[in-house]
Amino acid sequence: MTDGFFASEIIWPGLCAGLLIGMLCAWYGVFVVQRGLGFLSAGLAHAAFGGVALGLVLGLSQPLWVALPFMVVVAILLCVLRHKTGVRHDTLIGMLFSVSMAFGLIVLQYRDQLTSDAMSYLFGDLVFVQWSDVYLALALLLVTAALLPMWSRWAYASFDEELAQADRIDVKRDDYILIIMIALLVAAAVKIAGIILCSAFFVIPPACAVMLSRHFTQCTIYAVVIGALSVFLGMYLSYYADWPCGAAVVAVQALCFVFSAMVKRFV
């Protein structure tokens, strides 16, 4: 049976892109979960609608190239408002994603027939991923690798922001870089996997890892492994059970969460 799964040419781009996105989202997701920003990925994923709508109205075949800079602007605006106003992240995220969705709907009024295209773009499916999406995920992986030296600084600020500032770490600058990377990854993940799976990638694997690990490094490794494993098992289940791919991956992640909770409870 496994031979049929691996022999299907349509599976490979989605599997490769899914594994990369799953690992990257889990990598950044540990910071999202540790900082209590579980709403961040879902909010940014919905905010991507504005960028996608603008790209479609401009007549681009790949609205992602508008959605990416659009998401960077949203991320920078989020950080600026957070530092200038002191308003909580979750409040700002809710406000920005609502404004962005409204912007997208207003823009689409000028090209009414594109509304369905925008919605289908936001509910992607790993089965229909192209190799160009894999290259995009690889580019984000390379950028993440270049930012590896910042991992310890992000981790430090995630646990105690005031102490990190006292140790002369530029927490504000680091926050900008982290949020921008998350925004770029969300834009790519929404295109590749859709809103629901994108949100799950950022939250469920890291939440599982938190329950299974004893320190932050271990938590990051477990989250990345769970993120990748859930994609493989989910796509395998989708292939043979004929389930929607994204739903199958989320179902596997939910089982991982139940298993992690049981391990934490009884071990």
Hey, where are the domains in the chain?
2-261
> Which one-letter DSSP state was computed for residue 150?
G
Residue 87 pLDDT class (50, 70, 90 cuts): confident
pLDDT-based confidence at residue 154 (cuts at 50, 70, 90): very high
138: its two tokens: 């690889």
* pTM, entire model: 0.89
Most confident among 148-162, 195-209, 221-235 (mean pLDDT)? 221-235
Residue with tokens 């329950």: 211
Closest CA to 31 of 158, 136, 183: 158
What is the percentage of the chain residues whose pLDDT exceeds 90?
A: 42
For the stretch 182-193, pLDDT in tens is 999 998 998 888
In 3D, which of 10, 101, 92, 97 has the Cα closest to residue 50?
101
**CATH node for 2-261:** 1.10.3470.10
Q: Where are the alpha helices (DSSP H) in 160-244?
A: 161-166, 171-193, 195-212, 216-241
Would you say residue 141 has pLDDT above 80? yes
Quick check: 2 pLDDT over 80? no
116 falls in which pLDDT band (50, 70, 90)?
Answer: low
Rg (CA), the chain: 18
DSSP 148: G
Residue 25 clears pLDDT 70, i.e. is over it = yes
Comparison of pLDDT for 196 and 75, the residue scoring more: 75
CA 261 to each of CA 207, 217, 257: distance values in angstroms, whole numbers, following the listed order? 10, 20, 6
Signed CA dihedral, 256, 130, 102, 33: sign only: positive
| Res 114: pLDDT | 60
CA distances from 153 to 132, 159, 168, 170, 195 (A): 32, 10, 11, 9, 29
pLDDT for position 1: 45
Indicate the average pLDDT of the chain. Answer: 87
Give the separation between CA 140 and CA 20, rounded to whole angstroms.
Answer: 9
